Structure formats: C-alpha cells, structure tokens
Amino acid sequence: MNETTPTEEIIKVQVEMLAFHENGTFREVELLMRNGDLDVQLNFIYIMGQNDIQPKQVSSVSAGDVIHYKGTHIVCSVGFKELSPKELKRYRKIPRRDRIDSYFTMENS
C-alpha cells in the first residue's frame, strides 16, 4: 500500500528561475515533503528540482534561483539565504548576466 503518513504531504513548490532565465520563468517542483528543519526541506526541493529527477523544459534548479517555500530563499553555492521582499525586488532588477556576481554578495551578507 502506498499511503502517506501524517508527517508527509505531496506539495508543489514554485522556483523562480533567475539564474539562467529571464524574469517571470518559474519551475514547479512536485515532491513528497517530509518533516525536518527548513534547511533539509530546501535541500530536498533543490534535489527534486533537477532535470535528472523531474525533467522540465527549463534548466535544473541552480545557484542564483529563488525557492518560494516558507519564505523566499536564494540558492547559494552552499546552502540558502532568505531574502526579504526588498532584496528580492532588487535582485530581479539586476540584468540576468550580472546576477551571478550579485548573488555571491548576497550569500556573504
């Protein structure tokens, strides 16, 4: 039998694909979310957002993309950083080719 337990639920998470796509491109990541701290959950979303696991017509979730789950979190080279609405708005305004440099600044702040 393939039942979910009370500690699991199937969810759909929106990832804003800002690293390699123009503004307005989103990837929907569908997953069976398990209990755990937020960092574990964000890592799971990142893993399930890879085209090897869930093929989509957009790139895999990458550093510089933004996960909209329990807040707004930018994917860093290692881990995640929560963004305020003001930081996200500022990040979206940066030309796509310049975002990679700016996200390293955000990562270290």
Q: Residue 4 gets which letter from DSSP?
A: P
Task: Give tens-digit pLDDT for 68-85.
Answer: 999 999 999 889 999 999
Q: How high is the pLDDT of residue 63? A: 92
Lowest mean pLDDT across 10-24, 36-50, 94-108: 94-108
Spell out the domain ranges in the chain.
8-107
β-sheet bridge partners, residue 109 = none
**Per-residue pLDDT averaged across 28-52, rounded?**
92
94 exposure class (CB count in 10 Å sphere: 0-12, 13-18, 19+): middle
**Per-residue pLDDT averaged across 12-25, rounded?**
92
Cα–Cα distance, 19 to 1 (Å, whole number) = 40
Give me the sign of the Cα torsion angle 85, 90, 92, 98: negative
Nearest CA to 57 out of 17, 88, 94, 103 is that of 17
Q: pTM for the full model?
A: 0.85
